[in-house]
Structure 1
Amino acid sequence: MDDSSFSLPLPKTVEFLIHRTRLYLVVFIIGITAISCSPTRKLPSNQKLLVRQEIVIDNKSINKDEVESLIIQKPNQRFLGIWHLNLWVQQHTSQGEQTRFKKWLRRSAGRPPAIFNASDLMQSEAYIQSYMSGKGYFKAHVESSVITEDNTVSVNWKITTDTPWLIRNYRIMAEDSIVGALVKQSLNATLIKTGEPYDVTSLQLERDRVTTYLRNEGYFTFSNDYVVFEIDSSLRSRQMDVYMNVRNPRRLIGFSDNRELYGIDRHKKYYIDKVWVYPQYSTLRSIQASGESKPDTVHWYLPVAGDTSAGNRLSFIYNEKSHIRTSTLIESISIRQGDRYNLRHAENTYQSLSALPIYRSININYTPSDSKMVGQDTATIGLLDCAIQMSKNNVMAFSVEADGTNSGGDLGISGNFSFLNRNIFRGGELLNVKLRGALEMQQTLGDPEQNKVLLFNTVEVGADVSVIFPRFLAPFKSNSLPRYLRPQTTLTSGFNLQFRPDYRRYITNAGFGYRWKTNSRISHYFTPLEVNSVRIFPTAEFEAKLEKYNERLKNQYTNHFITSMKYSIVYNNQQYEKVHDYYFFRVDLESAGNALYLIDNIVGAPRDADGNFTLFNIRYAQYLRANLDFRYFKMFDQNNMLAVRGLIGIGKPYGNAAVLPFEKGFYAGGANGMRGWNLKNLGPGSFSDPNGEFSERMGDLQLESNIEFRFPMYAFIKGALFVDVGNIWLLSDIPTYSGGKFNTSTFVSELAMDAGLGFRLDFTFFVFRIDAALPVRNPAKPEGDRWVVSKSRIGDILWNFGIGYPF
């Protein structure tokens, strides 16, 4: 076979899969049929069960999910598309003595039969016809065909569209000329486009857009009820003109001949008068109710261009000693006395205060003020008082967690103890202290009884401490950045001790970094300095094993020091309240050792016996590293999606390092990657390890792609069909890892592949995942024998357990 290409022996592979799949399906269907029987046998003779609905639309631009949501009747859900499980539960728990268990099971998992109703069918037709008209298809034809078979009914929906009506002109009319001029200024952001099909949804969104725009311009009382659309469809050639009419408020002034008479007012533009801040609102209410004491009021005057007059005042209401610095709250509040009312300021204030972990909930209320602006027309100008009410969270919290672990088939247990302080320095800082311990049983080259605790021979203990500041620290000034960025500074440190059968490893780390958001979709992470120190003490047996191999493998298990700088950018356009396709994109860039290497070269620092510069008598690493994570989620409907991920990572050691540090390398396999292989047991390239001597394989380059179709199975049980393709490679030729070097002409033939079926138990607050994966293509096999699926057995399936989705 040519190294630059490979071929798939489809006939043999497909024949094997079809034969085995048919056998399993036959056995499964016979079992399901035996216990389910007919779901209609207990129905009265005059009732028929709705078992299926199919929708066919001749226009792909029409959202089938939205159409389906308009159909009143839905068939009973089928488990695995075969068995009416909820109907079976309903029928069988309704028989015999009604125990508590039966009632609970019927209430939790049972559903009444979906009895076909002709009147609901007609009403659904009317809903769909109205929906199609709202999309510009006024002459669309909606047809439903009812197919009756014994006691069951199937409904086929056929929707035929016509040529849509297009918008010819879009014009703004307003009873208030000032408001009308503002709306016209915003037309560059309009959602109604001339020449495009008429869509009532676009009109609704445009109404909301104009309302938000005017509220940001000071019109606090403006609502979308004042925006009315008029459509002129008298034009021929399927065109229409759209007019937005912005109306003024109406006020009831009396009656005449039993008719209501209304006066027309103008829209008021509001400015902020008094700002009241309640940092202890939850306890304030209880104290006021008991009458124990009166709260204290503290006024803060904020400078504006050097002026500290009373024209810019925040009033803080305290009923007890403040637990948070007032300056922290001021930095988080965008609402200022004398400013024009702006909805965006309220949203930024809410987000900034909500980011302070000391507070559980935030409420911002506006009420018309009794004061008046001097020299202003009260018919068009008004004042608002703002009350910012904050309910405190518990300052301290504790949690204990215990987990079972499965790392590459090595079973173990772990436990965590966490302590939180949500206001450690009285500025909304979050302190997180985590103590971790783990026990695991691993294979060893030496004495299996070494380090043994109960049944386990691997012990890991560690502690991590982090403090998150809700602002940027030095060299930035806290008030020099826009509040909408929601800046954070994180300080971290940790210590980890690993007692493994073959070595002891001590890991120390510390660092600080910044996080900020430029908008709701884009987040930035910048770590100017992160320090890691790794000290390893191998056993004699393990050291002897390392001496057998090349310098690269030996370097992975030697002491090293890392001083790195990192930057990451994350883009995510997912909107949780909407069903739409979305993307996730992350880029990580990292460099290490460059500044130290430059200084050592300038000052002529001494080198160690291997010719490397050291820091604290430990060789420090020098490298560049980058990786890209791209994900695309294709939403077919609310429950079915296709998730696609692509990973590219590369790391290049140079200068003071011959290889990447072990913890900075790339790995393949495991529950979140190539699921047909255990973690770190795939690659590099076509490297083969029949004796299992290399249990932790690392690469300089990673390419991986994952495709997963996610679908509902029953209630909280979700399913997934997945395929993983990828591998890791080395950038240099290492004799020990024969076939591990990346080559542009052969890397395609060295891609591994697995496929499988997953089950996800979605409990809303967490997802427990089981993925069964079978290797399909193994690059460690000789060329010509790498397609291994036809030789697979049940025992070759690798079971992966995890919390959450793999990506």
Structure 2
Amino acid sequence: KLNKKIEEGNLLMRWGEPLAVYDTNATEQTQNQIQLFYESKGYFDAEVDYQLKLAGLQKKRIIVNYLVEEGTPHIIDTVFFNTGNDTTIYNLLEKSRDEVKLSQNSTYDQNELRAERERIEILLKNNGYYAFNRQFIEFNVYQSADTNLLSVEVIINKPAKQPFHKQYKINEVNFTTDVNSQLGGRKRQLEKFNNINYYYYKSSYRKKILDQRVFIRPGALYSLDETFTTQRQLANLDMFRFVNIKYDTAGGEFIANVFTSPLDKYQVSNEVGVNVNVTFGLPGPFYNVSLKNRNPFGGIEILELSGRVGFDAVANLSDQTQVTTATEARLNLSLTFPHFLLPYGSAIKTKFGLLNPKTRTGIGYSFTDRPEFTRSNFNGSFGYSWQNKKDWFYDFTFADINLIESEITKDFNEALKNQSRFGQQLSRTFLPSFVSSGYLSVTKSFNEYGLGANKASFIKFYGEAGGNLLNIDAVAEVADESDLANFQFLKMAVDFRHYLPYGKESTLAFRINVGAARPYGRFAEGILPYEKYFFAGGSNSIRAWAPRRLGPGSYVAVDSASGNFDYRFEQPGEIILEASVEARRNLVGFLDGAVFIDAGNVWNFEDRGKPGSEFSFSRFHKEIAVGTGFGIRIDFSFLLLRFDVAFKVYDPARDQGERWTVDEWNLGNKRNYGPALNIGIGYPF
């Protein structure tokens, strides 16, 4: 540390850019680099020069101006292949001409030559040319006389002492399922299935299921893509510690060897943590535990038992200044199969193996104990998930069934009745209920969003339909005779996020979240299940408002005694529109800073007794709440703690003409326009 201070100065001295001292060699190197850059972009006749100019009162500053005369760019007119006498490679290249990276009638660019070299290497490796590499690829560029037109010759050089590049056909596939396992010197058993040799000490995995994830076949040409696909899909099973695939060319044969080492059959995971209540700043401890049993029935299934118990500090409904404890507990049992449980043949199942298919079944129980109510939920679900080659991830839950039972206190019951006067009918959500639905979630991460420091995006589409069976007369008759509350609804949402680095240590992050949910049918009585509503406000939403307290629309409850806005109750909505922009920058070491702007609100399709809560195209833009603020993030690499302070800028709950609130900011909480502290783990988006 002492040497660092001597060499680089103290903390304040290390901030900013280092002093730039003029260097003639650096100037000439920059001139040469600019020259090379223009030539690489097709400006072969470009000329680069520079001029120096003294500046400053004492003429001790130098301004360097680089002067570039680009000249005429050179255009690629023709691309042709030269493979010598190798007609097989020539035919492959001609068949894939539509994929050539060198665009005819476009400006010459060395990056396109590099991309074409990579394309040809992958093309040939996917067609049996195991020993081929990009060093055999050469380019000759010819310029037509007195023109700027270019002809590019793509040459495939032949290997040393051989007339042709050899195409490798797989003679045999060996799959060892238990590498690093030893059983007292015993020899591994051999089992053949679908022309693949399986070696093992103990037959632990059903070969019919494993075979669906192997895409290397005897008699087929070597393929780099099929090799990577096999490796990836076997790893997706969550059964093996590693998956290695090696090829043996000894003895004139070409043998594929697949080696896997099994993970532990049983895996226990524990997590202890603390959630911080934003309103009171009090810690709420929680404990998560899960027990995973791999391959319990020999069909490469995963059986998992997980549980959670947590405590949180909440406000008492009758006295908002009093803090009480809320308890939440969950227990879930899930069984996941590595294929679709559908009646179709093995050939189709193998094709589906490319999609990393899974069938998920599960049952669960959750319990919530708050001062105002207790709530129990029995849950059962059945669904499928898969992922296509373009990394779109699909999660289709065919059936999600919930049986909900609640008990409420006398005081809370009175509060719900008061809410019902405004048409909210929240009391219905606390009746014994049967909620069934099915949903489809489609997500895509572009360029590994959230994992790297590059430009990246994320998008999620979500659609859900609830109570569909109630449209059948026979089911509706049974529901009429039942004492349970039933719901019918449709719900859709789109969430888009974008991550844009700029400068050395700065990033702009954007988020747009849009959704709508609507009850329908006579069973719904115009009400959604409480968990299906949208809410705005909180550390991952509009941070200037308390969690789930913004909206709907321009509506706000008013305390009759004080005349102040009453934020005691959560404010559910049927429509949501949110957008956030956040600029992030590393300050020093593990400390990051951010400034942000959040905007959005929730609305209902009808006012339901809450004036201003219904969505209207003519005025919704006037009801978009706006908040801004700044934050500090402590990045421990394995954990990121986030502290955000936000202020309300535009409050749609106020009368028109009085909604801009910057002049009412204060450091206390006067009229709810003081700072809102948000504490969270991880980025808000």
Q: TM-score range by the shorter chain?
A: 0.7 to 0.9
The match for 2:498 is: 632
C-alpha change, 1:538 and 1:301, in structure 2 (3 Å) is closer
Give the Cα separation in 1 of the matches to 2:383 and 2:53. 64
> Take 1:40 and 1:485, find their aligned partners in 2: how far apart are those partners?
52
**Cross-structure match for 1:365:** 246
Q: Confirm or deny that 1:388 pairs with 2:297.
A: no
Letter in 1 for 2:507: M
RMSD (Å), alpha carbons: 3.3
Q: What letter is aligned with 2:530?
A: F
Partner residue, 1:282: 180
How many angstroms does 1:514 deviate by? 0.9
Partner of 2:39: 133
Distance 1:173 1:661 in 2: 68
User: Aligned to 2:170, what secondary structure does the other structure show?
Assistant: strand
Of 743, 757, 760, the match for 2:630: 757
CA contact (8 A) 2:78 2:152 kept: yes
Match of 2:169 in 1: 271
Q: Partners in 2 of 1:364 and 1:514 — Cα distance?
A: 29
1:167-218 Cα offsets, whole Å, 9 max, x none, are: 2221111122221121111011111101222221111111111111111111
Q: Deviations over 1:62-108 (max 9, x none)?
A: xxxxxxxxxxxxxx8998xx751599xxxxxxxxxxxxxxxxxxxxx
Change (3 A) 1:133 1:448: closer
Alignment partner, residue 439 of structure 2? 566
The amino acid of 2:498's aligned partner reads Y
**Which amino acid counterpart does residue 742 of structure 1 have in structure 2?**
F
Other-structure match for 2:215: 334
Q: Distance in 2 between matches of 1:355 and 1:274?
A: 24
In structure 2, what is the equivalent of residue 56 of structure 1?
none
Shift of 1:142: 6.9
Q: Which residue of 2 aligns with 1:671?
A: 539
Deviations 1:480-502 (A, max 9, x none): 24222111112232211111011
Aligned-pair CA distance for 1:746: 1.6
Amino acid at match of 1:507: N
Give the whole-Å Cα distance in 1 for the aligned partners of 2:234 and 2:503: 36
- 1:96 corresponds to which residue? none
Q: Counterpart of 1:587?
A: 461
Aligned pairs, number: 658
Unmatched 5+ residue regions in structure 2?
A: 560-565, 669-673
In structure 2, what is the equivalent of residue 298 of structure 1?
A: 190
Greater relative CO (CA pairs within 8 A, separation 6+): 1
CA distances 1:532-562 after superposition (whole Å, capped 9, x unpaired): 2222111000001111232522223333221
Letter in 2 for 1:704: E
Contact 1:448–1:457 (Cα < 8 Å) also in 2: no
The residue aligned with 2:562 is none
Residue 105 of structure 2 aligns to a residue in which SS? coil
The residue type paired with residue 255 of structure 2 is D
Indicate if the aligned counterparts of 1:180 and 1:246 stay in contact, CA closer than 8 A: no
Instruction: State the partner residue of 1:62.
Output: none
The DSSP-based 3-state class of the residue aligned with 1:548 is helix
Shift of 1:528: 0.8
Shift of 1:799: 2.2
Counterpart check, 1:719 vs 2:593: yes
The 1:142/1:624 distance shift into structure 2, 3 A limit, reads farther
Pairing 1:414–2:286 present: yes
Distance 1:322 1:801, change over 3 A: farther
2:681 paired residue number: 803
Q: Distance in 2 between matches of 1:140 and 1:561?
A: 77
1:164 aligns with 2:42: no
Q: Contact 2:34 / 2:48 at 8 angstroms: preserved in 1? A: no
Q: Conserved in 2, the CA contact under 8 Å of 1:720 and 1:757?
A: yes
Secondary structure, in 3 states, of the residue corresponding to 2:169? strand
Q: Hey, what does 2:400 align to over in structure 1?
A: 530
Q: Is the 8 A contact 1:129 1:142 kept in 2?
A: no
Q: Which residue of 1 aligns with 2:381?
A: 511
CA contact (8 A) 1:446 1:501 kept: no
In the alignment, the residues of structure 1 paired with residue 550 and residue 583 of structure 2 have an alpha-carbon distance, to the nearest angstrom, of: 24
Alpha-carbon distance, 1:470 to partner:
1.9
Which residue of 2 is the match for residue 611 of structure 1? none
* Structure 2 counterpart of 1:84, one-letter code: R
Mapped to 2, the partners of 1:206 and 1:388 lie a distance apart of: 31
CA distance in 2, matches of 1:384, 1:707: 55
Match of 2:14 among 67, 70, 84: 84
After TM superposition, the score normalised by the length of structure 1 is 0.75
* Bigger mean CA deviation after superposition, 635-644 or 618-627: 635-644
Give unpaired runs (5+ residues) of structure 1. 1-38, 44-75, 88-111, 252-263, 303-312, 372-382, 609-613
Q: Which moved more, 1:580-589 or 1:543-552?
A: 580-589
The whole-number CA distance in structure 1 between the counterparts of 2:64 and 2:32 is 16
Asked if structure 1 preserves the Cα contact closer than 8 Å seen for 2:213 and 2:354, the reply is: no
How far has the Cα of 1:772 moved from its partner?
2.1
2: distance between equivalents of 1:766 and 1:192?
45
- Does the 8 Å contact 1:439/1:456 carry over to 2? no
Counterpart Cα distance in 2 of 1:239 and 1:782: 68
Deviations 1:265-322 (A, max 9, x none): 31111111121111111235xx7xxxx51432313141xxxxxxxxxx212222x324
Counterpart position of 1:99: none
Superimposed CA distance per residue, residues 666-714 of structure 1 (whole angstroms, 9 cap, x where no aligned partner): 0001111111112101011111234436421100111111122233333
Residue number in structure 2 paired with 1:767: 640
Q: CA deviation at 1:427?
A: 3.2
- What SS does the corresponding residue of 2:414 show, helix, strand or coil? helix
For 1:748 and 1:466, the matched residues in 2 are separated by 44
Is 1:443 the counterpart of 2:305? The answer is no
SS at match of 2:583: strand
Q: How does 1:685-696 map to 2 (within 5 A)?
A: 685-691=553-559, 692=566, 694-696=568-570
Once the two structures are aligned, what percentage of the paired residues are identical? 27
* More displaced stretch, 440-449 vs 564-573: 440-449
Pair 1:623–1:527, CA change in 2 (3 A): same
SS in 2 for 1:549: helix
Query: Could you give the per-residue CA deviations for residues 596-635 of structure 1, whole angstroms, max 9, x where no partner exists?
Result: 3324467x44626xxxxx4xx3122111111111233344
Offset from partner CA, 1:116-168 (integer Å, 9 cap, x none): 76545544554444334222244163759798999x98986857472533222
Matched with 1:13 is: none
Instruction: Give the equivalent residue in structure 2 for 1:643.
Output: 509
Distance across 1 between alignment mates of 2:91 and 2:178: 43
Query: What displacement does 1:732 show?
Result: 1.5
Q: Which residue identity is paired with 1:340?
A: L
Aligned CA distance change for structure 1 residues 360 and 424 (closer, same or farther; 3 Å): same
- Alignment partner of 1:620 is 2:550: no
Residues 233-242 or 352-361, more deviating: 233-242
Determine helix, strand or coil for the equivalent of 2:427: helix
Other structure's SS at 1:272 match: coil
Kept in 2: contact 1:363–1:388 (CA 8 A): yes
Q: Residue 647 of structure 2 aligns to a residue in which SS? A: strand
Structure 1 range deviating more: 346-355 or 169-178:
169-178
Alpha carbons of structure 1 residues 693 and 525: separation in structure 2 relative to 1, 3 Å:
same
SS at match of 2:242: strand
Matching residue within 726, 738, 742 for 2:615: 742
1:350 aligns with 2:231: yes
Residue 316 of structure 1 is aligned with which of 192, 198, 219? 198
In structure 1, C-alpha distance between the alignment counterparts of 2:544 and 2:101, rounded to whole Å: 48
Residue 462 of structure 1: SS of its match in structure 2? strand
Check whether the contact 1:396–1:419 (CA below 8 A) recurs between aligned residues: yes
Question: Counterpart of 1:223?
Answer: 133
SS of structure 2 residue aligned to 1:457: strand
Distance in 1 (CA, whole Å) between partners of 2:256 and 2:35 is 46
1:26 is matched with which residue?
none
Per the alignment, residue 519 of structure 2 pairs with 653
> CA 1:548 to 1:144, structure 2 compared with 1: closer, same or farther past 3 Å?
farther
Structure 2 length as normaliser, TM-score?
Answer: 0.88
Moved more, 683-692 or 401-410: 401-410
Contact 1:526 1:568 survives alignment (8 Å): yes
